[in-house]
Amino acid sequence: MKIFSEELVEQAAHELHVADLANATIGEVLLVAQYLEQKTGIPFIRMDQGSPGLPVNQYGVEAEKQALDRGVGSQYPAAAGVPEFKHEASKFVKAFLDIDVSARSCVPTVGSVAGSFGSFIACTQRIKGKDKVLFVDPGFPIQKSQLRVIGTQWVEFDIYNYRGEALRAKLESMLSVGDIAAIVYSNPNNPAWIALEENELQIIGELATRYDVVVMEDLAYFCMDYRKDLSHPYMPPFAPTVARYTDNYILMLSSSKIFSYAGQRMAMLAISDNLYERQYSALAERYHDSGVFGQTLVASILYMITSGTTASTQYAYAEMMRLSTEGVINFVEDTREYARRAERMKRIFLQNGFHIVYDRDVTQQVGDGFFFTIGYKSMTGGELLRELLYYGVSSISLSTTGSEQQGVRACTSRMREELYDVLQERMAAFNQDHK
């Protein structure tokens, strides 16, 4: 039996000006769920927005307070970042990725959203004729919206059928055209939680070097592949990264998920030293500066977007990274709660007729973590999104992420202990009604 009538859901969509529920954005689904909750008092199972669901890291809070007490709020922060942040960022990358990136090449940004926005601009302007972005989908819809803002074109493909060695031919067919400036993906993946394996990262790195393409690797869910223990600084196994296979990379590491510090909008770009120092005549001509990639990105692009990154928050992130590299904080264990939630939520869906859409990596079953994907029989993603709303469960269609598979993305972050029985009851009713 449905929790919310079709008429009430349609009323919510109409009043909120949601033109097409089947293809609704994260923000639109969120508004519909909130509307229905407020209208009826019935709580939703919120699987839509990927907002952290763990307590904020208190070490960061205290470090930020202390920075403000020292008076850092009275001065503009340097665009390139405060020295303490840059130093700790370089150490953090070495400790958990085993990659050498100098402090100079570690740049604070106002969340990874600002980092990717600035990087898109720099990458697509550095060489004339190389002005498109390649998305290895499924991925984060916001990044395509950023390209709409700056008027940049993109191409994309769903990696579902191109895992392992099959990835090489697919990538080469697209890169050989010669107009791709950057490749973008997240690892682990938002929304599918697939994780690129070493041979796939090697393929991407080798082709990026051959075709002079910058790989923008989004590590928002850093070290969250819980199938192996990535929690020990300076000890293998290290988190996988394309940075082992090319010098053409920009790594994006946000504090939002790994330290639950989302409200302060704090992230960093770790740019390969080789790329940071490369000089491009097209950049020099456009910005009337040296044309050095890193300097142009920081001073002529990122500064125009955010005028630097909040100084006190840089000290917070620096302290959390310092304590992580020294083994005081184990952020991997802190975030493992997401994997436990995913395992329990998946079990409920599978028991009630659902299936996991992106269910495997190349050599093993996909792990449990912040996201997972579900489908139901022959329903399209849009149909499933709408049907789940009637049963008090909010999600987003995989079609909005660049996926060609039918299903929805489920986020574990807002799940609470008291909601597992509710989810079981509602999905049992869903399955009974759709047999």
Q: pLDDT in tens for each of the 435 residues of the chain? A: 888 888 988 888 888 888 888 788 888 888 988 988 888 999 999 998 888 989 999 999 999 999 999 999 999 999 999 999 999 999 999 999 999 999 999 999 999 999 999 999 999 999 999 999 999 999 998 999 999 999 999 999 999 999 999 999 999 999 999 999 999 999 999 999 999 999 999 999 999 999 999 999 999 999 999 999 999 999 999 999 999 999 999 999 999 999 999 999 999 999 999 999 999 999 999 999 999 999 999 999 999 999 999 999 999 999 999 999 999 999 999 999 999 999 999 999 999 999 999 999 999 999 999 999 999 999 999 999 999 999 999 999 999 999 999 999 999 999 999 999 999 999 999 999 998
Q: Are 183 and 204 in contact (CB under 8 A)?
A: yes
Would you state the pLDDT for residue 316?
98
What is the per-residue DSSP string for 90-147? Answer: HHHHHHHH-----GGGEEEESHHHHHHHHHHHHHHHSSTT--EEEEEES--HHHHHHH
Domain ranges of the chain: 6-54+335-433, 58-325
> Domain 58-325 has what CATH class?
alpha beta
Over residues 134-190, the pLDDT tens digits come to 999 999 989 999 999 999 999 999 999 999 999 999 999 999 999 999 999 999 999
Residue with tokens 């929690």: 231
Half-sphere exposure of 300 (CA within 13 A, CB side): 19
DSSP 37: H
CB 37 within 8 A of CB 43: yes
Q: Tell me the C-alpha distance between 168 and 204, whole Å.
A: 8
Residues listed for the chain: 435
Domain 6-54+335-433 part of CATH 3.90.1150.100: yes
Contacts of 417 (CB under 8 A, 6+ apart): none
Tokens of 9: 């859901």
Q: Has this prediction a pTM greater than 0.85?
A: yes
Q: Which residues pair with 354 in a beta bridge?
A: 376
